Amino acid sequence: MHKTKNAPQQRRSGATPVHTLFELDIVELLDADRLSKVAAGVLGAVHIKNFFTASECRGTVASLAQDSLGEYDQELVGRRIRKLGPAVFDYYNAAEVEPSYWEEAQAAARTRSGLLDGHDPLAVALDRIGAAWKGGVTLATSGGTPLFAGMLREMDEGTGIHFDEVEREFPACLDETPLSQLAFNCYLETPAKGGEVTVFRRRWRPADELQRDGYWYRHDVVAQEPYVTVSPASGDAVIFDPRNYHMVEANHGGRRVTLSFFIGVSRHGNLFVWS
Ligand SMILES: O=C(O)CCC(=O)C(=O)O
Ligand SMILES: [Fe+2]
């Protein structure tokens, strides 16, 4: 089901102990301690079984009309990744989030709001995360206006190796700098084979720009690094720090549909989300 490859704990004689701390925890219920550990960089990922029930997944995917999906700029990313809703990523090359973002955001939130038997799957996910965190979860803001969070994303060809760090890619975007950035994905439908997500214990360094392969990065940047690989079943959710390099394998047989957003940890202890 899952694979963990960690470097051995280092403890040479005479040296102080140091721990790699990049495990994959598989749990039935999300808890605040694991969320903190991923945010603090001492846990590779948390894989939550059955975050959504089978009927919540089926209901949401069944009511998601194919024609409601747009996609990331194929010219930029080099593959087809479809999605409902705008990503601030779409505006990385602009100085700020542009008017078309807000229009798309409103339309997508409206479409998504009734997908789960008349309810919003994002609201359900945020309730469950808030219950685990025992604190508030709100939408992140940009220029005082709440951003869109909660894309429904469909990938067939996976992704290359990349990282996501809003403060480094789009410093003007969020009103509050998060102490840590997490990626949340709940897998509403999963392929028979493929679609695994691998997270490497390695953040971006400036010299990595020499290792770029178009939008993605060459495998060399993570070649020596510990990693965790998660093979989620439908209904499962995975939380990791996307500032670590990560990638998704291509699908074989079936669709891979996720509810996806980023989570920032606020200086006040609450969480804020965006896509
Ligand atoms: O779909 C996934 O498993 C992860 C996709 C990804 O790159 C992200 O959420 O940042
Ligand atoms: Fe990513």
Distance (Å) from CA 185 to ligand 1 centroid: 7
- With H, G, I as helix, E, B as strand and everything else as coil, classify residue 25: strand
Residues 236 and 102: beta-carbon distance below 8 Å: no
Residues of the chain with pLDDT under 70: 1-12
Distance (Å) from CA 36 to ligand 2 centroid: 20
pLDDT for 200: 98
pLDDT for 6: 59
User: Which atom of ligand 1 is closest in space to residue 155's alpha carbon?
Assistant: 1
pTM of the model: 0.95
CA–CA separation, 240 vs 249, rounded Å? 16
Cβ contacts of 70-73, under 8 Å, gap ≥ 24: 70/104
As to burial, measured by CB atoms within 10 angstroms (0-12 exposed, 13-18 middle, 19+ buried), residue 267 is exposed
- The single-letter code of the amino acid at 103 is E
pLDDT digits over 96-106, tens only? 899 999 999 99
Phi and psi torsions of 199, nearest 5°: -120, 125
- With H, G, I as helix, E, B as strand and everything else as coil, classify residue 112: helix
Task: Using alpha carbons, select from 71, 108, 69 the residue that is nearest to residue 90.
Answer: 71
Nearest CA to ligand 1 atom 5: 248
pLDDT for 213: 94
Cβ of 115 less than 6 Å from ligand 1? no
DSSP state of 67: G
Cβ of 189 less than 6 Å from ligand 1? no
Residues 82 and 73: beta-carbon distance below 8 Å: no
Residues 161 and 227: beta-carbon distance below 8 Å: no
CA–CA separation, 149 vs 118, rounded Å? 18
Distance (Å) from CA 249 to ligand 1 centroid: 10
Distance (Å) from CA 10 to ligand 1 centroid: 30
CA–CA separation, 162 vs 97, rounded Å? 22
pLDDT for 9: 60
Q: What is the CATH number of domain 17-274?
A: 2.60.120.620
DSSP state of 52: S
As to burial, measured by CB atoms within 10 angstroms (0-12 exposed, 13-18 middle, 19+ buried), residue 110 is exposed
Residues 194 and 252: beta-carbon distance below 8 Å: yes
Cβ of 83 less than 6 Å from ligand 1? no
Task: Using alpha carbons, select from 84, 136, 131 the residue that is nearest to residue 261.
Answer: 84
